[in-house]
Amino acid sequence: MIVPDMLRLNAAKYPNEVALVEVNPERQEDRHITWREYDLVETTDDEPYRREITWSVFDEKANRIANLLLSRGVHKGDKIAILLYNCIEWLPIYFGVLKTGATAVPLNFRYAADEIAYCMDKADVDVLFFGPEFIGRVEDIVPQIQTGRLLFFVGDDCPTWAESYRELEALCSSHDPQIPLFAEDDAAIYFSSGTTGFPKAILHNHESLTQAAEMEAMHHNTVHDDVFLCIPPLYHTGAKFHWMGSLTCGSKAVLLRGVSPKFIFDTVSRERCTIVWLLVPWVQDILSAIERGDLRLQDYELDQWRLMHVGAQPVPKSLIQRWKQVFPHHDYDTNYGLSESTGPGCVHLGIENVDHVGAIGVPGYRWECKIVDEAGAEVKQGEVGELCVKGPGLMTCYYNDPEATAETLIDGWLHTGDMAQQDDEGFYWLVDRKKDVIISGGENLYPVQIEDFLSAYDAIQDVAVIGLPDERLGEIAAAIVELKPDRFVTDVDIMQYCRKLPRYKRPRKIIFADVPRNATGKIEKPLLRERYGAVGLVGKESNA
């Protein structure tokens, strides 16, 4: 099967059922904009801005976009970039691109102008769809990206140097172009998060994408009556392929533009959401809001909410234990993955394994795993090594980068760069990123283990551990600690708490500051190393 076929099936089977809902609590001022009839959803003064489309309209819009692109000379193999915040247009554009046989290239909405230009060049992009939030950034690079490329604006008041997607799309046929496609055909290029340098262009085919969709539905027992709340950005494989579980079952999904605990609970309650994927910072914020009394569970209808799952970064065991105390009826899952493995799920905990919280889990549906040493040989069970995965969701390659591809894909196995170990029950435990391991006095320190320990301290909201240079030990562990609101502790307090750790694992410095995370929830450790690695901290035992 190819990805557009999944949309076609839903449009035929559930034509008048809601497929997508966009909720934007922060756009109250736009509530009375007149949208086309198929977008219009009446709201009242006490409701957020909201739009919805059915499966038949979703498919129709995708067809119109495909025919627009085909009429402008786009053909199989071309690359079409999408630079949008989460909105109801995002997925129809994506599927319209796929229906032409072209390759979709989602772009990170946090990219600066030069990063947008870099990624467009890296992926050989032919067409760019962009929203109003990006006019300034795109305009800055128009001279270098406009030649030979089409620029389509998704919004009102189209700039003079672009074309209006809305005006053109309305004039195009709604008939399916039925371009012949095969499972091995290219489907999408996703960019790595760039936390270890310039992002790489990761090419996937249709088989990868359909595997991710089937796996998501299977892992989380998704059924047609489920309602998935999608908050993370759709440009990322995590959000996209968790949503594709809904695509597999023809179930409704809600795109929420806002991450405050109140927005999340309002939407879960109003839209009757049953499955919610959260990032670690949002879980922390929700629990803190409940503990402070800012959120009262009795104010919301939450009984239908059956599953909360977390991914994109290591998840502290203590955090999930706190969640289960508040929501004991919730199923829970952790999902591990990389953009190179079509996002989350190549390893997953499994909702039946909640007693193993802390592990990343077992191989996902149709995946294999192994742990190897520096020479590529499998290590003994219980030993730490590099996690490798193999399955039908593997990337085709790093686009136009054969050297990086050869370093990462070896004999059909993806070398993840993550250090892990397997316990005697077959569960895999993430130890740390290979590049983040701290070597202090000849000992390997794994920051994730120290972070997990510190996250159980009740005054700590978030924590990141990095290595800093030291003349005597080579490196020392430094903990950047973000405290909960209205809490005060000293570096001495935290050092005392850390006495429960083996001496060599204790952080030598405590730095009180915010912990920066990217849009997918990953700690931006390169930024922290740059920020604190050369500011005269070496030699001090702590920094409050």
pLDDT of residue 432: 67
Per DSSP, the three-state class of 429 is strand
Q: What is the pLDDT along the chain (544 residues), one digit of tens a residue?
A: 899 999 999 999 999 999 999 998 876 444 333 333 334 444 444 556 899 999 999 999 999 999 999 999 999 999 999 999 999 999 999 999 999 999 999 998 888 898 899 999 999 999 999 999 999 999 999 988 877 899 999 998 999 999 999 899 889 999 999 999 999 999 999 998 654 456 889 999 999 999 999 999 999 999 999 999 999 889 988 888 899 999 999 999 999 988 889 999 999 999 999 999 988 778 888 998 998 899 999 999 999 999 999 876 667 788 888 899 999 999 999 888 888 998 888 999 999 998 888 888 999 999 999 999 989 999 999 998 999 999 999 999 999 999 999 999 999 999 998 889 999 999 999 876 667 778 776 667 878 888 888 988 989 888 988 888 876 677 888 999 999 888 888 989 999 999 888 787 889 899 999 988 876 667 888 788 888 874 444 333 333 2
Measure the CA–CA gap between 148 and 531, rounded to whole angstroms: 40
Rounded to the nearest 10 degrees, how much is the dihedral formed by the CA atoms of 267, 272, 276, 278?
A: 20
Rounded to the nearest 10 degrees, how much is the dihedral formed by the CA atoms of 497, 499, 502, 505?
A: 60
Inter-residue contact 392 to 211 (CB < 8 Å):
yes
Rounded to the nearest 10 degrees, how much is the dihedral formed by the CA atoms of 94, 95, 98, 100?
A: -110
Listed residue (334, 321, 167, 315) closest to 242, CA to CA: 334
**H helices present in 420-543, as ranges:** 447-455, 491-497, 525-532
Query: Dihedrals φ, ψ of 131, to 5°?
Result: -100, 175
Q: For residue 84, which amino acid is it?
A: L
Residue 83 CA to its chain's centroid (Å): 15
Distance set, CA 172 to CA 16, 54, 158, 164, 169 (Å): 22, 19, 19, 13, 5
Instruction: Count CA within 13 A, CB hemisphere, residue 224.
Output: 7
- What is the chain's Cα-based Rg? 24
pLDDT of residue 315: 76
pLDDT of residue 296: 93
Inter-residue contact 200 to 398 (CB < 8 Å):
yes
Query: Dihedrals φ, ψ of 400, to 5°?
Result: 55, 30
The predicted model scores a pTM of 0.82
Measure the CA–CA gap between 307 and 445, rounded to whole angstroms: 34
Listed residue (22, 482, 493, 456) closest to 243, CA to CA: 22
| Domains defined along the chain, listed by start | 3-258 (3.40.50.12780), 306-433 (2.30.38.10), 437-532 (3.30.300.30)
Listed residue (276, 251, 221, 301) closest to 21, CA to CA: 251
Inter-residue contact 125 to 74 (CB < 8 Å):
no
Listed residue (69, 127, 75, 63) closest to 101, CA to CA: 75
Measure the CA–CA gap between 343 and 347, rounded to whole angstroms: 10
Strand intervals (E) in 9-102: 18-24, 49-54, 79-83
pLDDT of residue 237: 86
* Number of residues that this document lists for the chain: 544
